[in-house]
Structure formats: structure tokens, C-alpha cells
């Protein structure tokens, strides 16, 4: 928590623990370690305004909270972490187990450190080579039964959205361009 809190007074260090005894032990350890920092003011301000220790009741509740917080970094220190990982969906980088400290991701393990902040990991991941590639999409259709069904679905959706010209663009493709008869 201190490693995150020392970044900025606005940093948000959060911890989920299974019981209040652990929460109290962490609070005590934070207090002791905070006083040993060369400039504790930033970390103290961060912990006072945005630090949070949450006591959860079940694994499912902890996972739900973690996904809601959608942290930039998520350290997972639980027995049987494999039972948790498939359900954790919203984080920038996941650090699994006590030995996998987030500081390694910051400085020496080679993980990307350009990560989504402010809950944006709900819809985005970390910066990757894919962000520097241009994605081109294309569509090529041939008249057939599934093509006709796709046009009719597009017409229905366009009308539901109130976009008449879109619907007509689909309908016109359902008719013979010479005779105007339905295909």
C-alpha cells in the first residue's frame, strides 16, 4: 500500500482482507513503516484521503469488489490463487503470489507499466504493440439465404433506431435492381 501511496497524494491504495484482525495488523504495519519513509507526507496524504482496507466475507465478494475497483495493479496473495484468477477481469496487471511484487512490474520484470488507471481497466488493458498497429476491416458478401437474413435483421435494427435511410439501404439490396422485384 505504501509503494502505491508514495506516488502521489491522489493515489488510491486499496487492500481487501478476509478478517478484521488482518486489517488491524496492516494498519499497525503501515503506521510503523510510514514513519520510516524519507518523506512520508505524500504517502500519508494518499492513505488518509484515498487509502482503504476492506474486510470481505467471501471469495466471491472479494472478486466482485476487486473487479469494481478495477485497479491499475492487482496483487493476489491467497491460497489457491488459481481458483481466483479466472474471475478477476478488471485490472491493468495481475501479480500472483507473495513473490510477485508489483515493484518488479514497475522496474525489472519486463511487464508493461503503461496501464489503465481510474477504473478504466473495466474496458481497456495495458499499452501493447497492438496500439501501434492500424486495424483494417472489410466485408464482402454474396447473395444467399444468410445474406437475405442479415439484410432483414439490419432493416429491423435500423427501424428500431429510427434510421429510415439505413433500413432502406438494406431493403434496396433485397430487390432486383432491374425489375424492382423482391429477391
Number of domains in the chain: 2
What is the C-alpha to C-alpha distance for residues 37 and 178, in angstroms, rounded to an integer?
A: 81
Percentage of the chain with pLDDT > 70? 96
For residues 55 and 121, membership in a common domain is answered with yes
Both 125 and 143 in one domain: the answer is no
172 vs 131, which has greater pLDDT?
172
pLDDT surpassing 70 at residue 110: yes
Residues 13 and 91 in one domain: yes
Q: What angle do CA 82, 87, 29 make, to 5 degrees?
A: 70
Beta-sheet strands, E only, within the chain: 14-17, 52-55, 73-76, 93-96
> Which residues are catalytically annotated?
72-73
Q: Report pLDDT digits (tens) over 126-141.
A: 777 777 887 777 888 8
**Host domain of residue 72:** 2-129
**Top-confidence residue, 51 or 134:** 51
151, with CB counted inside 10 A (0-12, 13-18, 19+), is buried
Which residue in 131, 170, 177 sits closest to 151, CA to CA?
170
Residues 29 and 60 in one domain: yes
- Regarding whether 18 and 74 lie in a shared domain, the answer is yes
The answer on 87 and 118 residing in a single domain is yes
Instruction: Answer with the one of 83, 109, 129 that is the final residue of a domain.
Output: 129
CA distance 66 to 16: 8
**Residue 14: which CATH number?**
3.40.50.1980
The C-alpha cell of 129 is what? 504493440
Would you place residue 151 in the very low, low, confident or very high pLDDT band (cuts 50, 70, 90)? Answer: very high
Q: Which residues, 6+ apart, have CB-to-CB distance to 34 below 8 Å?
A: 2, 40, 43, 44, 47
Q: Does 87 lie in the same domain as 33?
A: yes
What sign has the CA pseudo-torsion 162, 165, 168, 170?
Answer: negative
143 and 125 housed in the same domain: no
Is 97 found in the same domain as 14?
yes
> Which of the four pLDDT bands, split at 50, 70 and 90, describes residue 97?
very high
* This prediction's pTM: 0.70
Cβ atoms 155, 175 nearer than 8 A: no
Under 8 Å CB-to-CB from 164, ≥6 apart: which residues? Answer: 158
Domain ends where: 85, 108, 129? 129
> Do 55 and 88 have their domain in common?
yes
Q: Are residues 9 and 35 in the same domain?
A: yes
Tell which residue, 87, 90, 110, 88, has the closest CA to residue 100: 110
Residues 123, 154: one domain? Answer: no
- What does the CA dihedral 3, 7, 8, 12 come to, rounded to 10 degrees? -40
Amino acid at each position: 500500500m505504501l509503494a502505491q501511496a508514495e506516488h502521489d497524494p491522489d493515489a488510491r491504495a486499496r487492500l481487501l482482507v478476509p478478517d478484521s484482525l488482518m486489517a488491524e495488523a496492516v494498519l499497525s504495519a503501515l503506521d510503523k513503516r510510514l514513519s520510516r519513509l524519507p518523506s512520508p507526507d505524500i504517502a500519508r496524504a494518499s492513505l488518509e484521503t484515498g487509502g482503504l482496507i476492506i474486510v470481505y466475507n467471501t471469495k466471491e465478494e472479494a472478486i466482485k469488489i476487486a473487479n469494481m475497483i478495477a485497479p491499475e495493479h492487482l496483487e493476489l496473495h491467497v491460497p489457491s490463487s488459481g481458483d481466483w484468477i479466472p474471475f478477476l477481469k478488471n485490472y491493468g496487471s495481475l501479480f500472483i503470489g507473495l513473490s510477485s511484487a508489483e515493484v518488479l512490474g514497475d522496474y525489472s520484470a519486463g511487464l508493461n507499466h503503461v496501464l489503465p488507471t481510474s477504473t478504466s481497466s473495466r474496458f481497456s488493458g495495458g499499452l501493447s504493440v497492438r496500439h501501434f498497429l492500424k486495424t483494417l476491416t472489410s466485408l464482402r458478401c454474396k447473395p444467399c439465404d444468410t445474406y437475405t437474413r442479415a439484410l432483414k435483421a439490419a432493416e429491423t435494427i435500423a427501424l428500431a433506431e429510427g434510421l429510415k435511410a439505413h433500413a432502406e439501404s438494406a431493403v434496396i439490396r433485397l430487390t432486383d435492381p432491374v425489375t424492382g422485384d423482391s429477391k
